[in-house]
Amino acid sequence: MTATSFPPRARHTKIIATLGPASSSPAAIRQLHDAGADVFRLNFSHGTHGEHQERLHAIRALEQEAGRPIAVLLDLQGPKLRIGAFADERVVLERGHRIRLDLDPAPGNAERVSLPHPEIFAALQPGHQLLIDDGRARFAVVSCGDDFAVIEAQSNCVLSNRKGVNVPDAVLPLSPLTEKDRRDLAFGLALGVDWIALSFVQRAEDVQELMAIVGTRAGIVAKLEKPSAIEDLERIVDSADAIMVARGDLGVEMPPELVPGLQKKIVATCRRHGKPVIVATQMLESMVSAPTPTRAEASDVATAVYDGVDAVMLSAESASGAYPVEAVSIMGRIIGSAEIDGKASTRMADYWPTRKDEPADAICAAIHTMARVLPIAATITYTSSGATTLRVAHQRPQTPILSLTPNLAVARRLALIWGVHSVCTEDARSVEEMVGQAEEVALREGFRQAGKPLVVVAGTPFGVSGSTNLLRVIWPEREAAKAGEDMACRPRDPYFNTIADCH
């Protein structure tokens, strides 16, 4: 990857932009990146393999040009449960009307219609809710069997051909990976995507099923959009590499008044586990057709920032909306404004990750204290697997995080993480080389500030994953000379001062 003169982002929270018809050309992708997009989402619910391949190639070309690792998120479609077709295309039902669902593929009417999903019948029980057309039509199950269900309309509604079905009260005996998903997954992994988002997660075993296929080739994002996932939240967060709060589908299957509280619960759980978390869906929905968001939408984005999420996501706003670049740009401005709010760091500190009795966690926690004593310009992390950088980022330090790794795949994956400016560089082989390289990259990437030291976190022996045990403060040589003999602990090497070295 070429050296870059591209300035670091002046914010910590990352922006994920979905690509689609409004944003698929190389020029459009470049505009989104320049406006502030850190991660690009390829939504495999839409588009062909050829279209997604062209988008990814454009992203990689942009990455070479900008010299900055860019993450690509492949979002799998997941199972789509739908009713069949009607003889007259639609039926109008009044509240209290009962209609039968069955496996018969014949065109339906006001008395019956096909539901070609025996796994739904296997899970239904009388009294369960059944939602059709994104919850616009709500029904209660009156009676059911292995191949049928009689449901009663809870309000006046219209049913039309092949509308989607949600079953919020049951865990369906269904894998989250359809045959289409498996083909899409193989295609995406061959292309080299960095993250895989798994839809229709009901339990931790769903995440583990995907992880067994993917291995270490990509990170796994579990999308939380079903009530059963909330019931198994702790295990799902523990199993996944990252979590997405998919509020659209979650708001269909659960009462809307519960979604804000659930969002905070999920974010707090992820923060406690030290797992990256994304808030998604309808964040700037009005910008699909308007050049500016509503004030409520701006507040929604800011609330996620205050809670310390790693990223916020644009869907239709950037994929098919009339103002994709403007949506990314104003989302960046909202994030920046929220992050400089004095209350942001206080609210963020409400969620602390669980710490283990290990040098790595002690070192990362110490960075907060050091930032109150020293005017630190940036925290520099050396990492092979990404673990060191993740540990530092999960503490939400108020300094930028400059992550150095010899692994391009790791550098790309870290582009999703809060506060991380990721750089792919050669691994250091000694402390002296580490110090020189850290100063050089910090200067090149725009993180050096006159009179301000750099904190370096690394592991020795170098190149070994999971060995974070070294914390250094680097002062530029000219600053060390100015400090003179009255320095509390003058180093023998004029480039750095040892603060901690835990073995």
Whether residue 401 is found in the same domain as residue 374: yes
Q: Which amino acid is at 485?
A: E
Cβ atoms within 10 Å of 430's Cβ, excluding its own: 10
Whether residue 364 is found in the same domain as residue 391: yes
Whether residue 216 is found in the same domain as residue 270: yes
Choice between 341 and 283, residue whose per-residue pLDDT is larger: 283
Tell me if 254 is assigned to some domain: yes
Tens digit of pLDDT for each residue in 72-107? Answer: 999 999 999 999 999 999 999 999 999 999 999 999
Say which DSSP state 320 is in.
Answer: T
Cβ atoms within 10 Å of 286's Cβ, excluding its own: 17
Q: Which domain holds residue 134?
A: 90-166
Tell me if 353 is assigned to some domain: no
Tell me if 350 is assigned to some domain: no
Whether residue 159 is found in the same domain as residue 239: no
Which residues, including other chains, have CB under 8 Å from residue 419's CB and lie 6 or more apart?
12, 393, 396, 397, 400, 401
pLDDT of residue 163: 96
Spatial separation of the C-alpha atoms in residues 454 and 438, rounded to whole Å: 8
Is the omega angle on the peptide bond into residue 461 within 30 degrees of 0, that is, cis? Answer: yes
Spatial separation of the C-alpha atoms in residues 473 and 457, rounded to whole Å: 9
Tell me if 4 is assigned to some domain: no
Q: Please report the beta strands in 212-319, taking only residues with DSSP state E, as ranges in sequence order.
A: 219-224, 242-246, 277-280, 311-314
Tell me if 45 is assigned to some domain: yes
Tens digit of pLDDT for each residue in 165-218? Answer: 999 999 999 999 999 999 999 999 999 999 999 999 999 999 999 999 999 999
Tens digit of pLDDT for each residue in 224-261? Answer: 999 999 999 999 999 999 999 999 889 899 998 999 99
pLDDT of residue 350: 62
Tell me if 5 is assigned to some domain: no
Whether residue 181 is found in the same domain as residue 154: no
Q: How far is CA 218 from the centre of its chain?
A: 13
Tell me if 8 is assigned to some domain: no
Whether residue 125 is found in the same domain as residue 262: no
Contact 149, 136 (CB under 8 A): no
Whether residue 377 is found in the same domain as residue 477: yes
Whether residue 403 is found in the same domain as residue 330: no
Active-site positions?
41, 82, 223, 281
pTM: 0.90
Of 279, 307, 341, the domain-final residue: 341
Instruction: Using alpha carbons, select from 170, 266, 168, 182 the residue that is nearest to residue 223.
Output: 266
Element (H, E) at 261: helix 259-273
Whether residue 308 is found in the same domain as residue 365: no
Q: What is the mean pLDDT of the chain?
A: 89
Residue 467 has pLDDT above 70, yes or no: no
Tell me if 428 is assigned to some domain: yes
Task: Indicate which CATH number applies to the domain containing 259.
Answer: 3.20.20.60
List the structure tokens of 50: 């050829």
Report the domain count for the chain: 3
Whether residue 140 is found in the same domain as residue 66: no
Of 283, 306, 341, the domain-final residue: 341
Q: Which band of pLDDT confidence, cut at 50, 70 and 90, is reported for residue 366? A: confident
Whether residue 368 is found in the same domain as residue 321: no
Whether residue 287 is found in the same domain as residue 412: no
